[in-house]
């Protein structure tokens, strides 16, 4: 691990803010690092308000989209809500379809089959619309590159409204409206919405046009918060407001589908981390193992017994997904180990029988293990399909762009992408990708980095300090859980390795010359026991956590790394 201590902000700004807010300088440092340097900005940060959401009509094509939808509703046209099969796509379809059904009964939903149709807008989906007298498709979380498909739909008399958040290509599809804050000609002030977030802006715009208040849209924010967490978009600005209120909905008044998922796992108050690691994998499992429509059905179901049956089915898909991705990860690691003698800057593995639905998860696991930009390929029909994952600081989307002569199609983000290519191009692509990565990556990025917010002493960690820190949530990109470093620590003598294979490190620490004592837990850090043994002095990087034992709640240090 590389420890990088963030630069300390201007002490005049820090002290002024600390005085205005009545907080410790350590808290003010964390705020200024996040761009919050005034009382007013801090108020907006700690009390995210729906009133601070941007006017949806600032988004390019919004007026046109709303007018076309109003026209479809007024003339009782059939509308199809189309979305991708991942969490962002399925929550988007659930959001848009359930909202539209409050205005018109003529709403169909469509999720492409991951195996038969692949990612994004499909000709099969357009044919389904044309065959069923559907004259308007609203595509969510996909469509920004569907130039030929949109043209094909127009020939069949089917209009398109696209709500996407992926980077556009050189040409924008000739749809009725294309809502995408990443369009170069779109001046919408916040560029980092997820697909479900763009969908929410569209229903916000329709609701405004119809004279509705923002409060009536609150029940839809549980879906938006789930998509924000799962799609790993920055939890800043507008996303922070949506995630904050959406999490509140999940915890206070969840829709029936969420209630049914939570009944399966019996978890109390959920954080955004729980949404990412508990709810999202289950929603995703439907599209990975069976079909994304199972997730949409669960998220739009209002009958409790039916929702419980859907959730139980999805729980089974998730168990199957876990077994499958574990087995494939083992096989992929064996492949990599066979090539270990070669000094490589990327990881590219392939097996024709690997399950297409889990290769993205496997790519993430391989990236965690070897910390290289990673692609996992499998056979998909006559072609090969891959999921790409990257390391922090390296843009895998740009790397794929540099290899596009070998790729049939690709799309995605800086850190995660998908692609398909001809089997005959696999070796050429693999060589080119390795060449691009080796020539463009800063070699330091191949060692995982821990960004440390501040160096503090243990006696600065007070109940008030921790209480304020919890109000920094929801955490995520752009607002990560604060990480601290403390020096001159020693174990009080209780240090030991715990867990089934003694993989975790548990100890109690004090700092030289300070009275405070804290419990510390380091998951997966059992091998570092030697560093703390025999009362050796060490330094640690950690976050703060709550530990509940026998009804007592205490602050504990969640260890990220230690060194002498």
**C-alpha span between 138 and 70 (Å, rounded):** 13
- Extract the runs of DSSP E, i.e. beta strands, from 67-146: 78-83, 107-110, 134-140
pLDDT at 179: 98
Q: List the CATH code of the domain at 339-446.
A: 3.10.310.30
CB 139 within 8 A of CB 132: no
pLDDT, tens digit (0-9, with 9 covering 90-100), for 481-520: 999 999 999 999 888 899 888 889 999 999 999 999 999 9
CB neighbour class for 211 (10 Å; exposed up to 12, middle 13-18, buried from 19): exposed
Would you say residue 381 has pLDDT above 90? Answer: no
Neighbouring C-beta atoms of residue 385, cutoff 10 Å: 23
- Cα 270 to Cα 180: distance, rounded to the nearest angstrom: 30
Compute the average pLDDT of residues 45-65: 97
Q: How many CB atoms lie within 10 A of CB 358?
A: 27
Domain 450-564 has CATH 2.40.50.460: yes
Domain locations in the chain as residue ranges = 10-43, 56-313, 339-446, 450-564
Q: What is the pLDDT of residue 557?
A: 96
56-313: CATH architecture: Alpha-Beta Complex (3.90)
- pLDDT single digits (tens) 151-177: 999 999 999 999 999 989 899 999 999
Q: Per residue in 3-31, pLDDT tens?
A: 999 999 999 999 999 999 999 999 999 99
Phi, psi of 540, rounded to the nearest 5 degrees:
-140, 150
For 417, which DSSP code?
E
Q: In the beta sheet, which residues pair with residue 412?
A: 417
Q: Is the pLDDT of residue 110 over 90?
A: yes
């Amino acid at each position: 691990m590389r420890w990088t201590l963030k630069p300390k902000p201007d002490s005049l700004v820090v002290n002024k803010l600390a005085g205005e807010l009545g907080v410790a300088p350590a808290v003010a440092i964390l705020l200024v690092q996040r761009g919050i340097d005034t009382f007013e900005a801090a108020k907006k940060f700690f009390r995210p308000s729906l009133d601070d959401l941007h006017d949806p009509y600032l988004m390019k094509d919004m007026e046109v989209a709303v007018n076309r939808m109003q026209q479809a509703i007024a003339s009782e046209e059939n509308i199809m809500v189309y979305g991708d099969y991942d969490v962002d796509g399925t929550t988007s379809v659930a959001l848009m379809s359930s909202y539209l059904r409050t205005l018109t009964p003529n709403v169909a939903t469509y999720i492409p089959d991951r195996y038969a149709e692949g990612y994004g807008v499909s000709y099969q989906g357009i044919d389904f619309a044309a065959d069923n007298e559907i004259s308007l498709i609203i595509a969510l979380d996909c469509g920004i590159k569907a130039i030929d498909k949109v043209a094909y739909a127009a020939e069949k008399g089917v209009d398109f409204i696209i709500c996407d958040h992926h980077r556009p290509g050189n040409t924008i599809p000739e749809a009725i409206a294309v809502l995408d804050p990443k369009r170069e000609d779109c001046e919408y002030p916040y560029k980092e919405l997820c697909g479900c977030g763009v969908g929410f802006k569209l229903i916000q715009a329709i609701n405004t046009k119809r004279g509705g208040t923002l409060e009536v849209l609150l029940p839809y924010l549980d879906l938006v918060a789930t998509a924000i967490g799962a799609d790993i978009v920055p939890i800043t600005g507008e996303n922070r407001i949506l995630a904050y209120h959406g999490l509140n909905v999940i915890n206070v008044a969840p829709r029936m589908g969420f209630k049914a998922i939570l009944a399966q796992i019996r978890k109390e108050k959920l954080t955004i981390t729980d949404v990412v690691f508990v709810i999202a994998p289950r929603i995703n499992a439907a599209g990975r193992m069976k079909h994304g429509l199972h997730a949409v059905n669960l998220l739009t179901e209002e009958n409790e017994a039916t929702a419980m049956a859907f959730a139980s089915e999805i729980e089974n898909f998730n168990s199957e997904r876990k077994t499958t991705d574990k087995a494939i990860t083992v096989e992929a690691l064996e492949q990599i180990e066979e090539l270990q003698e070669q000094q490589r800057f990327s990881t590219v593995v392939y097996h024709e029988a690997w399950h297409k639905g889990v290769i993205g998860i496997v790519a993430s696991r391989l990236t965690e293990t070897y910390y290289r930009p990673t692609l996992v390929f499998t056979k998909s029909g006559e072609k090969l399909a891959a999921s790409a994952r990257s390391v922090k600081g390296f843009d895998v989307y740009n790397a794929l762009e540099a290899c596009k002569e070998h790729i049939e199609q690709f799309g995605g983000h800086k850190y995660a992408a998908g692609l398909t290519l001809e089997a005959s191009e696999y070796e050429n692509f693999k060589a080119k990708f390795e060449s691009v990565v080796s020539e463009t990556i800063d070699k330091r990025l191949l060692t995982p980095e821990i960004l440390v917010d501040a160096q503090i002493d243990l006696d600065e960690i007070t109940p008030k300090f921790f209480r304020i820190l919890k109000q920094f949530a929801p955490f995520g990109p752009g607002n990560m859980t604060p990480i601290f470093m403390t020096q001159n620590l020693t174990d009080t003598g209780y240090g030991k390795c715990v867990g089934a294979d003694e993989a975790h490190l548990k100890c109690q620490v004090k700092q030289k010359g300070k009275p405070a004592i804290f419990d510390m837990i380091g998951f997966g850090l059992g091998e570092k026991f030697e560093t703390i043994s025999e009362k050796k002095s060490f330094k640690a990087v950690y976050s703060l956590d709550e530990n509940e034992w026998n009804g007592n709640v205490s602050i504990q240090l969640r260890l990220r790394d230690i060194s002498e």
